[in-house]
Amino acid sequence: MLLVRDNRPGGGGRTPLGWAAMNGHGGVVKILLGRDDVDPNRPELSGETPLGWAAYMGYSGVVEILLGRDDINPNQPDDHGRTPLSQAALGGHEGVVKILLGRDDVDPNRAKLGGETPLLWAAYEGHSGVVEILLGRDDVDPNKPDDEGATPLWWAAREGHEGVVKTLLRRGDINPNKLNSFGIAPLRAATIHGHGRVVALLQPSASTTPRTA
């Protein structure tokens, strides 16, 4: 009898389950997970897991299948420290973000190696919907900076994401004047990069006393 090893990695260390998850093949994922020799958490050489790939690509069905396993680690990071939630936030996949946040064991504030939280990633990429979902949680810190002192608002301003800036400024606990480690405020970052509409949004806020430290 020919024995097929379905968890054997290929190029880059990606397993068949990793390939199936990355490409959104839910049926194949189910078949592979039915085997005792398939490890659902086995990462490839970059540290990416099948769940991380499914989250990044936005395959909510595959994410749900993988999360159905009792032995899945929903917070397992890749080599850069990005968790599945960070990957979903980075990709702007609101459905996947909601699925992951529906679990009690998913940490919404877990940061990657550079200090970037899921909220910061969503703000940086301009994903207003994901930002709103994350801000809807009481345990998400909207002012948490990365390792260079830049907050979600700072990055949204720098990248010119007007919608995200508006969403963040609606919060009463946002500090619109918080400097990054190089002494640059969100208003100045937006000005340097020529984001006029963001500058207009930030000017009234920047003229007031900061509401938080």
Which of 124-128, 203-207, 208-212 is predicted least confidently?
Answer: 208-212
Please, which residues have CB within 8 angstroms of residue 186's CB and are 6 or more apart in sequence?
151, 153, 154, 156, 157, 158, 176, 177, 178, 202, 206
Residue given tokens 């998913």 in the structure block: 106
Q: Give the burial string for 81-95 (b: 16+ CB within 10 Å, else e).
A: ebbbbbbbbbbbbbb
Give the Cβ contact number of residue 170 at 10 Å: 10
Task: Determine whether 181 is exposed, middle or buried from the number of CB atoms within 10 Å of its CB (0-12, 13-18, 19+).
Answer: exposed
The pLDDT of residue 112 is 82
What is the per-residue pLDDT across 150-202, written as a single tens digit (0 to 9) for each?
999 999 999 999 999 999 999 989 999 999 999 999 999 999 999 999 999 99
3-state secondary structure 95-111: HHHHHHHCCCCCCCCCC
Flag whether the pTM goes above 0.85.
yes
The pLDDT of residue 46 is 84
H/E run at residue 26:
helix 26-33
What would the two tokens of residue 194 be?
């020529």
Give the Cβ contact number of residue 77 at 10 Å: 21
- With beta carbons less than 8 A apart as the criterion, state whether 190 and 157 touch: yes
What average pLDDT does the segment 42-64 reach?
95
DSSP secondary structure string for all residues of 151-196: -HHHHHHHHT-HHHHHHHHTSTT--TT---TTS--HHHHHHHTT-H
Q: Give the domains, in start order, of the chain with CATH numbers.
A: 1-82 (1.25.40.20)
Q: Could you tell me which residue, 2 or 114, shows the higher pLDDT?
A: 114
Q: Could you tell me which residue, 153 or 5, shows the higher pLDDT?
A: 153
What is the per-residue pLDDT across 90-144, written as a single tens digit (0 to 9) for each?
999 999 999 999 999 999 998 888 899 999 999 999 999 999 999 999 999 999 9
